[in-house]
Amino acid sequence: MNLVFATSLHPAIGKRTIFNITYPFTYNATRRNFNTRRNFSCSATVATDITQVAEFEIENKKHDLLRLVQDTQRGLVTTPDQRSSIEEALVSLEGHNMGEPVDLVRLDGTWRLQYTSAPDVLVLFESAARFPFFQVGQIFQKFECRDQSDGGIIRNVVQWSIPTLLEEQEGATLLVSAKFSLVSARNIYLQFEEISIENIRISEELQALIAPAILPRSFLSLQILQLIRAFKAQIPVRNPADPGRRSVGGLYYLSYLDRNMLLGRAVGGGGVFVFTRAQPLDL
């Protein structure tokens, strides 16, 4: 046994010999180790609690932002006070991972537009509100960059329709494709390549006109339906000043990104964007 005894004999009359026992050094070390482990455990618990509080605060801010944009029709109908409150909520949320490099694995996937102030998108909403023969459905951004280190492909997807001719909201798809490259921790440069119209889905009424169900469908009518469904118009994007040079592009600042929310700003006053994670989109 690893014990150290220090004994003293006290010759007191009528009393027994007294032994004083001094506990070994190894006992004190064990005690100090226990205290160290206890302090470390407490520190880890405090750190975990702080992280959980921070995550809870972020989720609350995301909820507040989505609540503020909920009744704006994706940005079409906003008052100056609403825009101010939304901008304040955006800035507050952006501060949580400001300066962190873009995680391309997390960015990869499909994102649904919840709000924007970009004029080139709002004009679509304004047109749909003004003309009853035009509808704008969901708008997505699809990033393809999971296996990349410095960029990838981005596809802006606009689902639209012409009532009675095409299916409601999703009668056709406008697709604007671009390559993007990382130019800083948070900025990406977009180089637009192609605009296409595809995924034509005609309405049941139009299908009945082309190939009536009550009559035997001819080979020609079936071919027409197949051609409409397979129709795809592609227009390459060129630099209007010099068609021989690369296409026009722009800077896009990814101001916030986590597992289910993406915030972006078009550099140069092009507007802000609020996206939430969506189900994968097959194009």
pLDDT at 21: 41
Of 108-122, 148-162, 242-256, least confident by mean pLDDT is 242-256
**Is pLDDT of 224 > 90?**
no
Encoding tokens for residue 79? 């008052």
Helix%, strand%, coil% for the chain, nearest 5: 35, 30, 35
**Residue 205 — pLDDT band, cuts 50, 70, 90?**
confident
**Is pLDDT of 266 > 50?**
yes
Instruction: Please answer whether residues 91 and 258 qualify as being in contact, where contact means their C-beta atoms are separated by less than 8 angstroms.
Output: no
Integer CA distances (angstroms), 38 to 49, 84, 203, in order: 16, 49, 69
Cβ-Cβ contacts under 8 Å for 196 (sequence gap 6 or more): 174, 175, 177, 232, 233, 234, 235
Residue whose pair of structure tokens reads 């391309």 in the numeric block: 104
Of 7-21, 41-55, 257-271, least confident by mean pLDDT is 7-21
- Which range, 7-11, 110-114, 202-206, is most confident? 110-114
118 burial type by CB count under 10 A (0-12 exposed, 13-18 middle, 19+ buried): middle
pLDDT at 269: 79
Instruction: Please answer whether residues 194 and 235 qualify as being in contact, where contact means their C-beta atoms are separated by less than 8 angstroms.
Output: yes
Report, as an integer, the average pLDDT of 73-80: 96
**Residue 50 — pLDDT band, cuts 50, 70, 90?**
low
pLDDT at 104: 96
pLDDT at 228: 74
Report, as an integer, the average pLDDT of 56-67: 95
**Is pLDDT of 39 > 90?**
no
Q: Which helix H or strand E contains 195, and what residues bound it? A: strand 187-198
**Residue 170 — pLDDT band, cuts 50, 70, 90?**
confident
Beta bridge partners of 140: 112, 157
Single pTM value for the model? 0.76
**Is pLDDT of 80 > 60?**
yes
**Is pLDDT of 105 > 90?**
yes
User: Between 269 and 194, where is the model more confident?
Assistant: 194
Q: What is the mean pLDDT of the chain?
A: 81
User: Between 8 and 174, where is the model more confident?
Assistant: 174
